[in-house]
Chain A
């Protein structure tokens, strides 16, 4: 698998603040790579330096073998960019916008085909303002595909969308991936990153705290197994027994719901025996989530 993006010791400074602080990573051809982090972590700045929209203070960025500083036009011909909350021209129809953007490139895809992919063919003659939030985001993504790019950059593509619209966008991103395109996206939704990304880099305060394949990243969690259970009453001796095997937490806002986090498969077996003895009303076993790793690495939840 060849590397299509290589970032080495990238720094972006604004006066005394390092928005991006010496990060290095690569992106493989055909994968979905995600930069995960809270707002202000440096995800968008990193993405925009790779896209050539911002200049790096230090470091080296290569896209498809071209240096961003000197061969930007070669890169622009081969990438597609969806910016965070971009609005398109108000007084051009969807078809006209796609035709116009297609004219900027040497190679282009038929706008009708693109509109068909996202089920917006019947809206070809309407203005962007007449679209719903979800439709607008889908249009924004296909607008980044007009030049049949090798790499597609999506900056927080699902922010502000309702769950159904978000699901539809995930399907679209998966469809784009299936065409062999490389996708680089930023998000602060853990579920989205876990669901879509083959590899993830977790960013905080301009630094890359961890980078790995998604499943390996989750396995790095201190407590990779979880038992969630509901009991009528949990007495003190029961609490003491469970705390010997794992980390017991009351589910936020619930009186009788508990979560037991465990370090190993042995602990999981032991804990299951203990919980069964409590006659739980409900019991589910699961693995740790990306959010657990994120909290462990950054020391904070993403909503903070």
Chain B
């Protein structure tokens, strides 16, 4: 009985393109978008280089800029064309090395490198100006044979090779679990109720708990598949790093999926129509997507807001996933996270057990 029900539930999830979109393709789209921007072999932006000088210094600069791999370098000859590309947005900035730059035999040779940029593209501008400034300063010190008096001492908390994409990938895992579970259960159960399928089920000897467990387990199976696809594409497609134990990531995914499914049951209990359930689910998932740390760290928010969002169900889950993927740490190192998640599970379980019914009485 249970096996057939589970199989039927899985078939329905797979055949329902709408729910499949939310479960699989929506997070995959995010993975690909962020992967293309911030994954491996990605740069801050493209820079057009116009090198009018053939001196050793000018060629050295060109080599340093290219080897830095911070920017995608394309060589141009015409300044007007390069400027036009910046205006159109096809190039982020232009670096012009003037004629005779670095020719020490000519006292009138130009001493500056020109950077043309759009002030709106702050990320590229600051990186490019910083790079050129550092190159010129280092060259000046070398030419004047001056030693640096003050230097920077760098100490990385994490010696691992990490990128922004690694941070976002953990967020996308949480986002995928949240969207598919909350929306899937809330809308699915409300639709079943509206169509009287839940009521029809209660006319049979099938115990209610078996019906619910089959629903939950079938969705967990889809979640596991969903997580696997995201991890595969992120790691092998865009070079994401996972330093912790993959088994723990799956355990956290199951924990998160159960929590979000319970939230889905609470929504289905409180909403009378499918439209209301859809609205309520969206009202919960969209703010959580932006506030709970999917795309950027919560500490960037104002303090009063971060204190609040710290306790949203997704936030502690993401902290635990990131502890595993980025730091290879145990999710229990900070017990506060697991306590918040388990508390949410407990609260949602109590409400849905109390309120969710297959039939009215």
**Partner-B contacts on A (CB < 8 A):** 51-55, 73, 76-77, 79, 81, 83, 85-92, 96, 99-101, 103-106
Contact = CB atoms under 8 A, between A and B. Distances in A.
Contact of A101 (B11, B195, B199, B204): B204
Contacts of A104: 1, 204-206
A106 B205 CA distance: 9
Given A54-B360, A76-B204, A92 B11 contact: yes
Contact of B1 (A51, A54, A55, A103): A103
Given A92-B8, A103-B5, A104-B1, A87 B203 contact: no
Nearest to A103: B4
Contacts of B200: 81, 83, 86, 88
A85 B196 contact: yes
Interface string B325-361: 0000000000000000000000000000000000111
Given A53-B203, A91-B15, A92-B11, 11 more contacts: A52-B202, A54-B360, A76-B205, A77-B205, A83-B203, A89-B12, A89-B197, A90-B195, A91-B12, A99-B4, A103-B5
Given A90-B16, A99-B4, A53 B361 contact: yes
Contact of B361 (A55, A81, A91): A55
Given A88-B197, A104-B1, A53 B202 contact: yes
B8 A73 contact: no
The CB with the most chain A CB atoms within 10 A, among B12, B203, B205, B206, is that of B203
B196 A100 contact: no
Given A53-B361, A76-B204, A86 B8 contact: no
Contacts of B361: 53-55
B3 to A, nearest CB: 9
Contacts of A51: 203
B197 A96 contact: no
24 contacts: A52-B203, A53-B203, A55-B361, A73-B205, A81-B200, A81-B203, A83-B196, A85-B196, A86-B199, A87-B197, A88-B197, A89-B8, A89-B12, A90-B16, A91-B11, A91-B12, A91-B15, A92-B11, A101-B204, A103-B1, A103-B5, A104-B206, A105-B204, A106-B205
Contacts of A99: 4
Interface size range on B against A? 20 to 34
B16 A100 contact: no
Contact of B196 (A54, A86, A91, A92): A86
Given A92-B8, A100-B4, A86 B205 contact: no
Contacts of A101: 204
A213 B8 CA distance: 44
A105 B205 contact: yes
A52 B2 CA distance: 23
B5 A100 contact: yes
Interface of B: 1, 4-5, 8, 11-12, 15-16, 195-197, 199-200, 202-206, 359-361
Nearest to A140: B200
A53 B197 contact: no
B8 A96 contact: yes
B188 to A, nearest CB: 11
Nearest to B200: A86
Contacts of B359: 53
Nearest to B13: A91
A53 B205 CA distance: 12
B203 A76 contact: yes
A75 B8 CA distance: 26
A219 B11 CA distance: 55
A86 B203 CA distance: 12
Nearest to B204: A104
Contact of B197 (A52, A73, A86, A106): A86
Contacts of B197: 86-89
A83 B205 contact: no
The CB with the most chain B CB atoms within 10 A, among A54, A76, A100, A106, is that of A100
Given A86-B195, A104-B205, A104-B206, A91 B4 contact: no
B331 to A, nearest CB: 36
A107 to B, nearest CB: 11
A85 B196 CA distance: 8
A104 B15 CA distance: 23
Contacts of A52: 202-203
Contacts of B12: 89-92
Contacts of B195: 86-88, 90
Nearest to B17: A91
B198 to A, nearest CB: 10
Contacts of B206: 104
A81 B242 CA distance: 54
A90 B5 CA distance: 15
Nearest to A78: B205
B146 to A, nearest CB: 75
Given A86-B195, A103-B4, A103-B5, A91 B16 contact: yes
A73 to B, nearest CB: 5
Contacts of A86: 195-197, 199-200
Nearest to B202: A53
A69 B206 CA distance: 17
Contacts of A89: 8, 12, 197
Contacts of B205: 73, 76-77, 104-106
